[in-house]
Structure 1
Amino acid sequence: MSQPNSTPTPKLFYTNLNSVRVSVYASIDDKFCWADGWRIDGDVYGPHCKLSDTLPARIKLQDLGAGKSPLSSAIVPDPCPWSAELPATYKVTTNISQKDKLIQSNVQQLAFKTLTTNSGKLQLTDLNGFTKRWVLRAAAGTVSSALSDGGEECRELRLSRIIVDPDTDDYSRATEQGLWIIAVCNPSESTLQQQLDSLSPWPCVACCILPAETDLNNIQQPDDLLLGTYITNNQVVPDWAELIIADAIDPIKFNSRWDSSVIPVIAHQLTSYNNDRNAREKCAALQASLAPRTNYAGYVISKQPLY
């Protein structure tokens, strides 16, 4: 068999996440056949967290034996899922070899995500395995302003950030220091797949918001990325939407349309605010204006339209 032209960075994924253990895997394309001597080894090292003194452990990646392509795994005990309060990450070192000759080494970041949707709500599972409802409250702004104090005030207020077209530096800082991000994106058709794939590994991304008219028919949606849509007026909710952001201009009309939605709904309002504490108060006021009719999945504000 001919030699592959280049060696890719291994794909990392995990399964069976619970409070006791998680199975972490590393794999490469099936053109690198196990039968031709290709192997992956390495280790998972963590957790690493600026807000905790937890000692990291190093767990070896073990080759899983004969198969179509190389696959290795490690069982990580007592995994620590990522959250703004405990932004834990792991470093995964992978070594790709062929017939015992090292070809390539890589170090990648991995984090365990537990934010999901359920019955019209958002829910989050902590490191003890307890799942509870999580209400999103966020204000549009910058990562820099939210992290000017290391993110302490936003954590105290339980306030997240809406970021329009965030970049890698935003994701990296928010992941390390503990800040939930709502990524508002408007990619072209040619860059959509790449952008979704690049967003998926970052645990700080609570959800990615796309215009309702975005066509995902030929897109492979990442498993670990919640996709939401921004709905205005009488737009139809696209089939791919896992959550909805909608303008709450008139509380009566808003409740009439959305209070029975089976998809989580996040109420959005244009308003002014001069700091994060004031922004959090505006989120609370928005929630109060829509109560007691129902409780939505979140309440977010911005000074400018999202699109």
Structure 2
Amino acid sequence: MDPADWSERVELFFGASSESMCRVYARLDTSDTDGAGDAAWKLTGSLTGPTCEYAATLPATCSLVDAGPGPMPLAKGLVPDPCYWTPSMPHLYQATVEIQRSGQTVGVVERTFGMRPLAASGRGLRFGSKSWVVRGARRETLTVDELSEWHAAEVAVLISAPDDALCEAASRQGVLLLAELTAPDRREIRRLVRWPAVGALVLPSETSSVPGGLGHNVILGQRFAFGATVHTAPWADVALCEVDSHAELPPGALDCDRPVLVIRPEEPAPSAAGARSACDRLQRDLAPRGQFAGYIV
């Protein structure tokens, strides 16, 4: 099998975590390979880090150990004193995953990995132990050279299917990406969720389901067009709804039991610094109706 094919099949994710430890897993999707579920498969590897563009670090290495027979090959490891990925301090680790079958190494996958503790909680969002509000901007395009401005402004970017070069640079520089998809394509989801910077996948409101077993540690957002009633699907972690210049909320937005991110497009598209100010204005305009999980312009 081509090395790129192995890379597409390996998923890295984290489970139980705290300030003192984080459990990390590597899983190989063998569902459509010859011998799926075969006990001859074995995963091992290592995780080395952290590194960070904005801080001196003391990297260390922990092992990923095969977890034994199961539906899919799985390796697990324990990271002591983990450093998590946040936009302000984007700590990264380098993972090496060795794929064996019947005692023979058939592939090795190298990947950048980050533990990003962003999650939906009730009607809000949390980054680790703290409540967190998204302030972001919708961009049709974004270049790697522009990322430093967005990091400095502390503004997330809502963008359609960012390519790997942008995702890699955003992961390193600390810019949170909300990646829009036109459909829940399994291969595209796998590609995007591997990047620490991709904190959410945003799908159209008409999406009925999302492939299971994908997207660990990533938020799934359901986007509603202007005027559409907000009625979240079971798969959605958050709702994104669009308002006009008067910030009139669509039906269902105030009654939604998930975090709601409100989008008010700005024309022309603001700079990174301008986007931050526009988000603050949107929050102020919506304040009489309540506080929301995010403001995007």
**TM class, shorter-length:** 0.7 to 0.9
Could you tell me which residue of structure 1 aligns to residue 285 of structure 2? 289
1:90-105 equivalences in 2 (<5 Å): 90-98=93-101, 101-105=104-108
Greater shift, 208-217 or 111-120, is seen at 208-217
Could you tell me which residue of structure 2 aligns to residue 128 of structure 1? none
Instruction: State the AA in 1 paired with 2:208.
Output: D
Could you tell me which residue of structure 2 aligns to residue 268 of structure 1? 263
Give RMSD over aligned pairs.
2.9
Could you tell me which residue of structure 1 aligns to residue 76 of structure 2? 73
Structure 1, gaps ≥5 residues long:
126-130, 302-307
User: Which structure's CA Rg is the greater one?
Assistant: 1
Distance 2:165 2:6 in 1: 23
Query: Is the Cα contact below 8 Å between 2:230 and 2:241 reproduced in 1?
Result: no
Greater shift, 208-217 or 92-101, is seen at 92-101
How far apart are 1:252 and its partner, in Å? 7.2
Could you tell me which residue of structure 1 aligns to residue 117 of structure 2? 114
Q: 1:56 to 1:135 in 2, by over 3 A?
A: same
Aligned to 2:170, what secondary structure does the other structure show?
helix
Could you tell me which residue of structure 2 aligns to residue 12 of structure 1? 12
Residue 46 (structure 2) aligned to one of 34, 43, 47: 43
Taking structure 1 as the reference length, the TM-score comes to 0.81
Instruction: State the AA in 2 paired with 1:62.
Output: V
Aligned to 1:283, what secondary structure does the other structure show?
helix
Could you tell me which residue of structure 1 aligns to residue 195 of structure 2? 202
Distance 2:137 2:223 in 1: 15
1:116-131 equivalences in 2 (<5 Å): 116-125=119-128, 131=129
Deviations 1:231-280 (A, max 9, x none): 13133524122211212227574187423422111111122354222221
Aligned to 2:249, what secondary structure does the other structure show?
helix
Q: 1:98 to 1:173 in 2, by over 3 A?
A: same
Instruction: State the AA in 2 paired with 1:13.
Output: F
Deviations 1:62-94 (A, max 9, x none): 344566765433211111111111111211112
Deviations 1:30-51 (A, max 9, x none): 74744x4x54333111112111
Greater shift, 133-142 or 8-17, is seen at 8-17
Taking structure 2 as the reference length, the TM-score comes to 0.83
How far apart are 1:219 and its partner, in Å? 5.5
Percent sequence identity over aligned pairs: 26
Residue 132 (structure 2) aligned to one of 131, 134, 151: 134
Query: Is the Cα contact below 8 Å between 2:6 and 2:109 reproduced in 1?
Result: no
Q: 1:107 to 1:140 in 2, by over 3 A?
A: same
Residue 244 (structure 1) aligned to one of 239, 247, 269: 239
Greater shift, 23-32 or 134-143, is seen at 23-32
Instruction: State the AA in 1 paired with 2:278.
Output: K
Structure 2, gaps ≥5 residues long:
none
Distance 2:77 2:210 in 1: 35
Aligned to 2:165, what secondary structure does the other structure show?
helix
1:19-30 equivalences in 2 (<5 Å): 19-28=19-28, 29=30
Query: Is the Cα contact below 8 Å between 1:193 and 1:219 reproduced in 2?
Result: no
Q: 1:279 to 1:219 in 2, by over 3 A?
A: same
Distance 2:212 2:42 in 1: 30
Query: Is the Cα contact below 8 Å between 1:209 and 1:230 reproduced in 2?
Result: yes
Aligned length: 285
Aligned to 2:280, what secondary structure does the other structure show?
helix
Query: Is the Cα contact below 8 Å between 2:229 and 2:252 reproduced in 1?
Result: no
Instruction: State the AA in 1 paired with 2:114.
Output: A
Distance 1:243 1:66 in 2: 35
